[in-house]
């Protein structure tokens, strides 16, 4: 998960948008497309097959992971697919997927464990998926609510809208807090022009399953709407809970 699959989904979304926007101008149509009486082509109809994109992107990520392991081995770097916990400042206990443990000692350890998405803290918040989960969905997420105004939320909203989905972003205060305000506002306007909707100054207060396996979301301003998918991207926290940093 992360930057690479997100960029690949954006490439796919951009290709679809480019076909819809400009292909008829250059005389490119679908199989049944023919010029009208004015010699112009209609905008071609495109279909998104989410499961195909997801499968191809996941296979590409697997190939990258394999290449990374090969390159590490070529540089004589030992790769251990194990969960590490500090026993003291100079000792790690590492456990493999079969539960077998061993220890590693070192004068120094470099910690680079990455982060995990923060959950949405409201009633029914467990119905939402995270910005990591979206890359593993078996089917198109459909009408989607992205909760949060961080760059991760906006990136996900952008490629989902580019794939033709109805997308809304719930914004607690402002877009891209901490970033240049002029650029942030231009990004918001660009996204609106490309079909993304924004609910400003709201947070979810309740989520509940309703008919058709949709999720009804009630917002802090009293409004509500139903979605096929709710995606939480309200921040991330360091993935150190099981690292045993207190033992150092």
Report how far residue 11's alpha carbon sits from residue 53's, in angstroms, rounded to the nearest whole number. 11
SS (H, E, C) 81-111: CCEEEEEECCEEEEECCCCCEEEEECCCCCC
Average pLDDT score, the chain: 95
State yes or no: pLDDT of 31 exceeds 90.
Answer: no
Report how far residue 73's alpha carbon sits from residue 208's, in angstroms, rounded to the nearest whole number. 49
State yes or no: pLDDT of 33 exceeds 80.
Answer: no
pLDDT in tens, 166-192: 999 999 999 999 999 999 999 999 999
State yes or no: pLDDT of 35 exceeds 90.
Answer: no
Indicate if the alpha-carbon torsion angle 188, 194, 196, 199 is positive or negative. Answer: positive
pLDDT, residue 43, reads 82
More confident residue, 61 or 44: 61
28 band by pLDDT with thresholds 50, 70 and 90? confident
State yes or no: pLDDT of 1 exceeds 70.
Answer: no
DSSP 192: H
Reduce the DSSP state of residue 220 to 3 states and report it. coil
More confident residue, 31 or 208: 208
Within 10 angstroms of residue 58's Cβ, the number of other Cβ atoms is 14
The per-residue DSSP string of the chain comes to: --HHHHHHHHHHHHHHHHHHHHTTTTT---TT----TTS-PPPPP----HHHHHHHHHHHHHHHHHHHHHHHHHTT------EEEEEETTEEEEE-TTS-EEEEE-S-------EEEPPP-SBTGGGSEETTGGGG-SS---SEEEE--SHHHHHHHHHHHHTT--EEEEESS-TTTTS-HHHHHHHHHHHHHTT-EEEET--EEEEEEEGGGEEEEEETTS-EEEESEEEE-S-EEES-TTS-GGG-
State yes or no: pLDDT of 42 exceeds 90.
Answer: no
Within 10 angstroms of residue 35's Cβ, the number of other Cβ atoms is 12
State yes or no: pLDDT of 24 exceeds 80.
Answer: yes
pLDDT in tens, 138-164: 999 999 999 999 999 999 999 999 999
């Amino acid at each position: 998960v992360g930057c690479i699959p997100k960029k690949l989904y954006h490439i796919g979304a951009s290709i679809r948008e480019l076909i819809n926007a400009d292909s008829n101008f250059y005389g490119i149509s679908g199989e049944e497309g023919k010029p009208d009486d004015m010699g112009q082509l209609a905008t071609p109809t495109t279909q998104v097959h989410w499961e195909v994109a997801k499968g191809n992107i996941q296979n590409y990520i697997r190939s990258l992971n394999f290449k990374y392991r090969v390159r590490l081995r070529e540089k004589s770097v030992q790769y251990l697919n194990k969960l590490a916990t500090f026993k003291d400042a100079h000792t790690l206990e590492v456990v493999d997927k079969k539960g077998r443990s061993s220890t590693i000692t070192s004068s120094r350890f470099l910690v680079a464990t990455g982060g995990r998405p923060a959950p949405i803290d409201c009633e029914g918040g467990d119905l939402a998926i995270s910005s990591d989960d979206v890359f593993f969905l078996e089917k198109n997420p459909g009408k989607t609510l992205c909760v949060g105004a961080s760059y991760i939320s906006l990136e996900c909203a952008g490629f989902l809208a580019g794939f033709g989905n109805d997308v809304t972003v719930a914004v607690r205060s402002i877009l891209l807090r901490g970033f240049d305000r002029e650029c942030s506002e231009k990004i918001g306007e660009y996204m609106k022009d490309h079909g993304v909707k924004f609910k400003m100054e709201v947070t979810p207060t309740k989520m509940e399953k309703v008919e058709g396996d949709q999720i009804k979301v009630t917002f802090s301003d009293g409004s509500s709407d139903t979605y096929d998918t709710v995606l939480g991207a309200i921040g991330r926290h360091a993935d150190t809970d099981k690292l045993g940093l207190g033992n150092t």
